[in-house]
Amino acid sequence: MALRDRLRPGAREAVEGLKAQGLQVHLLSGDAEPAVRALAEELGIADWRAGILPAQKAGYVQALSAQGAKVLMAGDGLNDTAALASAHASVSPASALEAARVASDMVLLHADLSALPEARATARKAVRRIRENFRIATVYNVLAVPLAVAGLCSPLIAAAAMSASSITVSLNALRVR
pLDDT digits (tens, 9 = 90+) for 56-104: 999 999 999 999 999 999 998 899 999 999 999 999 988 888 999 999 9
- Report the DSSP beta bridge partners of residue 107: 92
Q: Evaluate if pTM is beyond 0.85.
A: no
In the chain, alpha helices (H): 11-20, 33-43, 54-66, 81-86, 98-103, 116-149, 155-174
| 123: pLDDT strictly greater than 80 | yes
pLDDT at 47: 94
Identify the DSSP state of 176: T
Q: Are 135 and 172 in contact (CB under 8 A)?
A: no
Instruction: Give the confidence band of 2 by pLDDT, cuts at 50, 70, 90.
Output: low
Can you tell me the distance from the alpha carbon of 71 to that of 23, in angstroms, rounded to the nearest whole number? 10
Phi first, then psi, for residue 19 (nearest 5°) are -65, -40
Can you tell me the distance from the alpha carbon of 120 to that of 93, in angstroms, rounded to the nearest whole number? 15
Q: Are 90 and 73 in contact (CB under 8 A)?
A: yes
